Structure 1
């Protein structure tokens, strides 16, 4: 990949997912407190798991330094992991809510 080949897709994924919600899916998920509580829980677990997997002292997962910004917080977690985490979890929840609204026998 090219330089910052992990960073650019990670950064781009956030506005793409937000735009999908605001312009097409329109589930209202971002207005729900439960969504933000869910994201806080997800990130709390991500910090523990990702911190253990990416710790620089003994990494299990290794990244090519040229593919990242080099910003790591906390516990040596690449900041790009949070962006992808947000995008993946949010898109999954958006599609889940959208599918639930369209399920047979359910009112829209």
Structure 2
């Protein structure tokens, strides 16, 4: 089944991070403009680097086409890379924010 090998874990990671924030941690991170600015900055670096690594005309990183959806943009970047990137960066920021709140004794 196409997309299961890489797409399913990528989408699952996004869902887990969003549920963790909205139902458990409740740090308010998603309501902050600074968070979204951070994500834009991350994309500003991810797109050229990931595009260079995964470009179809001379790939450094190869993806098994049976394990991804096949949606690639811009510069041949598999959409799953953006999902994993979002989940990774957001989970780290949520961990930092939760630790800060605990240190400062902020209510959840």
TM-score (norm 1): 0.93
Matched, 1:96 2:68: no
Residue in 1 aligned with 2:14?
14
Question: Which runs of 5 or more residues in structure 1 are unaligned?
Answer: none
Deviation beyond 4 Å, 4+ runs, structure 1: none
TM-score (norm 2): 0.93
Question: Where in structure 2 are the equivalents of 1:19-98 lying within 5 Å?
Answer: 19-98=19-98
Deviation, 1:107, is 3.6
Instruction: Please tell me whether the aligned partners of residues 2 and 69 of structure 2 are also in contact (alpha carbons under 8 angstroms).
Output: no
Aligned pair count?
105
Residues in 2 aligned to 1:83 and 1:14: alpha-carbon distance in whole angstroms: 6
Residues in 1 aligned to 2:26 and 2:58: alpha-carbon distance in whole angstroms: 43
When the two chains are superposed, the root-mean-square deviation of aligned CA atoms in Å is 1.1
Residues in 2 aligned to 1:88 and 1:61: alpha-carbon distance in whole angstroms: 19
Question: Which runs of 5 or more residues in structure 2 are unaligned?
Answer: none
Residues in 1 aligned to 2:105 and 2:17: alpha-carbon distance in whole angstroms: 25
Residues in 1 aligned to 2:19 and 2:58: alpha-carbon distance in whole angstroms: 38
Deviation, 1:58, is 0.5
